[in-house]
Structure 1
Amino acid sequence: MKYVWYDFETFFQQAPQLNPARKLITGVICGVRVEEITENPMQDIRYLDKLIDELAKGKALEKILRA
């Protein structure tokens, strides 16, 4: 099996479609509020970080996305 490695920027650029609800994720990750990050690739990375952290804590996806 051959693995292809991407950096995060390439991963997000090539993603078929990012969930628009990701913009509803709020909070602090690594000491920075995700909703205040202005660089798009970094903000998408931090949304992913926050999502994984909250899911690992057992939170429901609906709660994380504020749905």
Structure 2
Amino acid sequence: MAKHRIYTMSFASVYPHLVKKAEKKGRTKAEVDEIIRWLTGYSQEELEKQLEKQTDFETFFAEAPQLNPARALIKGVVCGVRVEDIEEPTMREIRYLDKLIDELAKGKSMDKILRK
């Protein structure tokens, strides 16, 4: 079976869209970065290096220093699919990120988004 094309897209090509979605709703790039760091365990410096390297999504998540165990608490629907029902691990990580950015754009507090 062929890989989904998002796996080969660079994370850096999608990142500005995540930031724009948040900023349109009055949120900040810093909050988007905090969510990504919480989810993946990247430091801000490591995140910026991944963006500079144009790392693809599959590699971005495969090289994540420490995927947050609390990400399993992320529930809900993204693009018509329940994130908790996605079996393919990389796609599930991508959809977790989508869901967190959606929650940010909908005005949820960072404590709730980061499952504190």
Give me the TM-score of the superposition, normalised by structure 1.
0.86
Q: For residue 112 of structure 2, what is the aligned residue in structure 1?
A: 63
Q: For residue 91 of structure 2, what is the aligned residue in structure 1?
A: 42
Residue type at the aligned position of 1:12: F
Instruction: Quote the offset at 1:58 in angstroms.
Output: 1.1
Residue type at the aligned position of 2:67: L
Q: For residue 51 of structure 1, what is the aligned residue in structure 2?
A: 100
Deviations 1:3-51 (Å, cap 9, x if unpaired)? 2111111001111001111110000000000000000000000000000
Write the distance in 2 (CA, Å) between the matches of 1:33 and 1:65.
Answer: 19
Q: For residue 17 of structure 1, what is the aligned residue in structure 2?
A: 66
Given that 1:25 and 1:65 are in contact with CA atoms closer than 8 Å, whether structure 2 keeps it comes out as no
Instruction: Quote the offset at 1:56 in angstroms.
Output: 1.4
Write the distance in 2 (CA, Å) between the matches of 1:54 and 1:66.
Answer: 11
For 1:6, which of 34, 44, 55 is the aligned residue?
55
State the Cα RMSD in Å.
Answer: 1.8
Post-superposition, which runs of at least 4 consecutive aligned residues in structure 1 deviate over 6 A? none
Instruction: Quote the offset at 1:65 in angstroms.
Output: 5.3
Which runs of 5 or more structure 2 residues have no equivalent in the other structure? 1-48
Identity of aligned residues (%): 71
Residue type at the aligned position of 2:60: F
Give the structure with the higher percent helix.
Answer: 2
